[in-house]
Amino acid sequence: MGDRKLLVAVYHPRAARADELGAMVEATGLAVQLLPAHVHGLRPWVDSCFDLLLLNPFLDWQDPFEFVRLARSIAGRRPLLILSDRDSLDDRMVALGAGADDAVGWTGNMPEVLARIASLLRRSRIAAGQLGEGELRIDLIDRRVERAGRLIRLPLREFDLLANLARVPDRPLSRAALLRAVWRIDFDPGTNRVEVHMSRLRAKIDRGFDWPMLHTVKGVGYTLRSRPENAPS
């Protein structure tokens, strides 16, 4: 599995418009996921590994302000771009007031919409709180982990283990260092807690993928490898 394309999740209450938007975004080299109506359940929205959420909240039954607030909570720190099918200052002000990162009227103005998408994605990728490279992406603030576009749910200790290893990819961390960083323990408690949690973490991060990222370094500790062992550096 190679590096995935950046994914834009798209919602428009009119299916034909959603298809049109998706096709135009996809033509720029981005991946697109069309989201179903939120009134049928939010699980597809919450579990989507999108990099940017693009939606029009102005043609549905729900209050646009509350819809944008809901979208903001789902997007977390990922960019939220609001579209209106009309060039309306009022629509843009509602969207920005509810927490959108940007808002634009898009009918007949697709080049500007695509430019705003590119700009938001550029800014988000260099934002603080992001770890990982290649297949692995870790959001330290939203505590969200993805590998090759697949959402991986981790409990607190496993997330902290992974984050600490990802801070120094391809360099081993000792068991003592992980005990200090994750459990705040400055002595060896004589238990196998690190080994147990690493085993559980491996099952989630490596199982089902083409190559393992997490490795035991004999006599040293553990490391997270950013590329397969036989890949060129």
75 in Cβ contact with 53 (< 8 Å) = yes
Domain parsing of the chain, residue ranges: 7-125, 130-224
Report residue 1's pLDDT band, with 50, 70 and 90 as the boundaries.
very low
225 in Cβ contact with 170 (< 8 Å) = yes
DSSP 3-state assignment of 232?
coil
- H or E stretch at 75: helix 64-75
pLDDT reading at 168 higher than 90: no
**Partners of 223 in the β-ladder:** 215
7-125 belongs to CATH 3.40.50.2300: yes
Examine domains 7-125 and 130-224 and report if their fold is the same.
no
Region 44-67: mean pLDDT is 88
42 in Cβ contact with 20 (< 8 Å) = no
Distance CA(227)–CA(124), nearest Å, equals 23
Side chain identity at 230, as an amino acid letter?
N
The per-residue pLDDT for 127 is 60
Region 77-96: mean pLDDT is 93
Which residue in the block uniquely carries the two structure tokens 């009022």?
Answer: 90
The per-residue pLDDT for 207 is 94
140 in Cβ contact with 123 (< 8 Å) = no
The per-residue pLDDT for 126 is 56
Question: Which has more confidence, 51 or 162?
Answer: 162
pLDDT digits (tens, 9 = 90+) for 195-230: 999 999 999 999 999 999 999 999 889 999 988 876
The per-residue pLDDT for 232 is 56
Q: Whole-model pTM above 0.75?
A: no
Q: Which two three-digit tokens encode residue 147?
A: 């590998």
- H or E stretch at 26: helix 15-26
130-224 belongs to CATH 1.10.10.10: yes
Q: Which two three-digit tokens encode residue 199?
A: 């085993």
